[in-house]
Each structure stands twice: as structure tokens, then as C-alpha cells.
Amino acid sequence: MSQPQAPKPAKLVIGLFLQDRALLPEIVAHLQTDFGAIDMVSPWLAFDYTSYYASEMGTPLFRRMLVFKALIQQEALAGIKRRTNALEEGYAEAGKRRVNLDPGYLLLERFVLATGKNFTHRIYIGQGIYADLTLMFQKGAFQTLPWTYPDYAAEEMRAFLSLARQKYSAELAVQMAEADRGV
């Protein structure tokens, strides 16, 4: 019989894309108020894999990934998604979003995004939110799945998330060493 055990804390990652890059500092400031200091920021990543958002947000769209310093409990993801949805709504004009925020978390074995949309591979986690297993870490690299969004499947995205995973792994090692010493 399997024994229930507490899950490891996760690294909060929030992807965002927008057309007006001048909004970035203000949005980042809001995110830092809600979720704390940022540990890593990706370079601007390509976001030209789909035209799905063009009618709402315009083109071209630019993507950035933010990795937060503090670790989160995995069960916090639904509440985080609700808060980022509220921030998106706060920046909307005439009912159209000007920023899209994709919160998720990183573990050693996987990268998970939060979404309000149900689908066959998504697991309900409460508050109207589903967890989307986006990437799996196997054979030394992040592996895509049949449903992985093209921008998350891109090599530059997976390389950035691999760097974030290395940092997270080192942080976990420090936490475990401190716990062993009773710190």
C-alpha cells in the first residue's frame, strides 16, 4: 500500500506574453507584490507559433518567463491562477486582454501550467482551475507531450526551464542539508 506523503515545494514560474513591452515593468511589479522576488527572467522568447491570440491581443506578441525566488506549495497553484486572471482583467481594455499570464510550477520531474480550460489530460485542482502537465523531465532533458503548446515545446523555452530546474535542484539540496542539521 502506498503511504501518503507531503509533496516537495515547487518553483513558481509565470510566463507572460503581450504586445506592448512597455507594460512589462508595471506588470512585473504587481507580480512581485503578490508572489515575492524574482529569481530568473528569460530573454524575450519567440511567440509566433499561433495566431490564436491575434484578434484579442494584436501582433506581434512577445513572451517572457519569470521564475520566483520563494518556493510554493503545489496546492497553491489554483489560487495563483485566480490572482493572475484578476491581474489580466485589470489590464484589459474594451474586454480584450493586453497581457496573458501563465502561472505554473517546476519540479525536478515535470513542469505544470494552470488553466481554466478542461481537457482530457488536465486534472482539476480546485477553484475552477486545472493542472496541465506540460513537460516531463526524462533522459536529462525536458520532453514534450502530444498536447504541449508549441511555444513551451521550443528548444529555447526548454533550455531556459532546464536552467531554472538546475537552480531549483540546488535550492532543494540546501533545504535538505539545513533540515538534516536542524536549521
pLDDT at residue 40 greater than cutoff 90: yes
Q: Which three cell numbers stand for residue 110?
A: 515535470
Establish if 165 belongs to a structural domain: yes
Q: pLDDT tens digits for 113-148? A: 999 999 999 999 999 999 999 999 999 999 999 999
81 lies in some domain: yes
**Dihedral of the alpha carbons of 22, 23, 24, 27, in degrees to the nearest 10:** 160
pLDDT given for residue 101 in this prediction: 98
Total number of domains constituting the chain: 1
Q: Is residue 2 part of a domain?
A: no
The model's pLDDT over 73-110, given as tens digits with 9 standing for 90+, comes to 999 999 999 999 999 999 999 999 999 999 999 999 99
What is the span of the domain harbouring residue 95? Answer: 10-181
- Whole-number pLDDT of residue 71: 95
Band of residue 20 on the pLDDT scale cut at 50, 70, 90: very high
Task: Tell whether the model's pLDDT for residue 177 goes beyond 90.
Answer: no
pLDDT tens profile 145-159: 999 999 999 999 999
The answer to whether residue 183 scores a pLDDT higher than 80 is: no
pLDDT band at 181 (very low <50, low <70, confident <90, very high): confident
Looking at the domain assignment, is residue 1 inside a domain?
A: no
Domain assignment of residue 4, yes or no: no
Instruction: Confirm whether 101 is domain-assigned.
Output: yes
> Does the structure show a pLDDT above 80 at 3?
yes
Residue 156: CB atoms within 10 A of its CB come to: 13
- The answer to whether residue 123 sits within a structural domain is yes
8 Å CB contact between 142 and 111: yes
Q: How many CA atoms lie within 13 A of 112 on its CB side?
A: 26
Q: Does residue 142 belong to any structural domain of this protein?
A: yes
